């Protein structure tokens, strides 16, 4: 699984992703600060990255209108330490869920969103495109 960290989150998440065994990059490292959300969507799709963002409002809609994508992770806005902690929680969630069905994390994430609730920090996942009515979480 390859992770693309959106500019709204700390670029320290790139290093943490690598420590967790995943290739990662971010808008800043790619010279893409300030570009449109649609440009980021096209780039992550073209290079087979899962997008990690806190911009739920825009990206759930964009990914929901996309036939095939490598996945979306939505983290709430937190301090850098909080973002690192939530990334660890989400990566554990993805690794556990994918192992339960015998898939690699990258395969399990296809056309899926994994989201952390802002108030409760509860992790949930759902198909995207698809209906969030099938939310699964803990």
Verdict on whether the full-model pTM lies above 0.75:
yes
Q: What's the CATH code of the domain at 13? A: 3.40.50
Q: Distance between CA 98 and CA 119 in Å, rounded? A: 25
Per-residue confidence (pLDDT) for residue 132, from 0 to 100: 44
Q: Which whole number is the average pLDDT over 48-74?
A: 95
Do the domain assignments include residue 102?
Answer: yes
Do the domain assignments include residue 45?
Answer: yes
Q: Distance between CA 84 and CA 80 in Å, rounded? A: 6
DSSP-assigned letters across all residues of 30-80: GT-TT--HHHHHHHHHHHT-EEEES-HHHHHHHHHT-S--S-EEE-----H
Query: How much is the mean pLDDT over the chain?
Result: 92
Per-residue confidence (pLDDT) for residue 77, from 0 to 100: 87
């Amino acid at each position: 699984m390859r992770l693309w960290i959106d500019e709204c989150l700390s670029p320290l998440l790139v290093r943490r992703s690598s420590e967790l065994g995943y290739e990662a990059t971010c808008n800043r490292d790619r010279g893409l600060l300030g570009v449109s959300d649609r440009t980021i969507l096209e780039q992550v799709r073209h290079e087979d990255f899962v997008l990690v963002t806190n911009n739920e409002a825009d990206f759930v809609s964009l990914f929901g209108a996309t036939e095939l994508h490598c996945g979306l992770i939505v983290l709430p806005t937190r301090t850098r330490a909080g973002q690192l902690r939530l990334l660890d929680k989400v990566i554990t969630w993805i690794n556990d869920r994918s192992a339960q069905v015998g898939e690699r994390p990258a395969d399990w994430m296809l056309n899926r969103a994994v989201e952390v609730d802002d108030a409760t920090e509860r992790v949930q996942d759902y198909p995207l495109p698809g209906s969030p009515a099938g939310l699964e979480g803990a």
